[in-house]
Amino acid sequence: MATLFEKICTGEIPADIVYQDEVCVCFRDINPGAPTHVLLVPRKAIPRLAMAQEDDAALLGHMLLTVGKVARLLGVDESGFRLVINNGPHAGETVPHLHMHILGGRDLEWPPG
């Protein structure tokens, strides 16, 4: 069965999309934790980072390069942003489809809770 984020990638479920290309889609988080809070997800349904395979190397590299592109688009590249990948229960992962949180627009605390 398709995950929530697969359905957003195909347009079956609406989202506020800020960027998309042939590999990934970036949209605003429905419950933002910062003034800028978007999720970058691959179109390919990889459940979580630790389940990525060797042949996902190009996809993962593309996503990391896309983070910088999205940060520039959203105007947080110079003010700064945080990239978060929650992997599994202890990290609070709630959607089993790899996603990168890009958070910015305010001072972010460290260490995270």
Q: Which span (24-32, 58-66, 67-75, 103-111) binds ligand 5GP, by CB under 6 A? A: 24-32
**Separation between Cα atoms, residue 52 and residue 84, nearest integer Å:** 16
Q: Please identify, using beta-carbon distances, which residue of 56 and 93 lies nearer to ligand 5GP.
A: 93
CB of 69 to ligand 5GP, least distance (A): 19
Query: Between the CA of residue 51 and those of 7, 40, 44, what are the distances in Å?
Result: 20, 17, 12
**Separation between Cα atoms, residue 7 and residue 110, nearest integer Å:** 33
Alpha-carbon dihedral sign for residues 113, 93, 105, 82: positive
Contact between 94 and ligand 5GP by CB under 6 A: the answer reads yes
Contact between 15 and ligand 5GP by CB under 6 A: the answer reads yes
Contact between 95 and ligand 5GP by CB under 6 A: the answer reads yes
Q: Please identify, using beta-carbon distances, which residue of 14 and 58 lies nearer to ligand 5GP.
A: 14
Q: Are 60 and 40 a contacting pair, CB within 8 Å? A: no
CB of 29 to ligand 5GP, least distance (A): 5
Helical residues (DSSP H) of the chain, grouped into ranges: 4-10, 57-74
Task: Identify the residue among 6, 9, 25, 27 touching ligand 5GP (CB under 6 A).
Answer: 27
Helix, strand, coil percentages for the chain (3-state, nearest 5): 30, 20, 50
CB of 100 to ligand 5GP, least distance (A): 9
Q: Which residues are catalytic?
A: 99
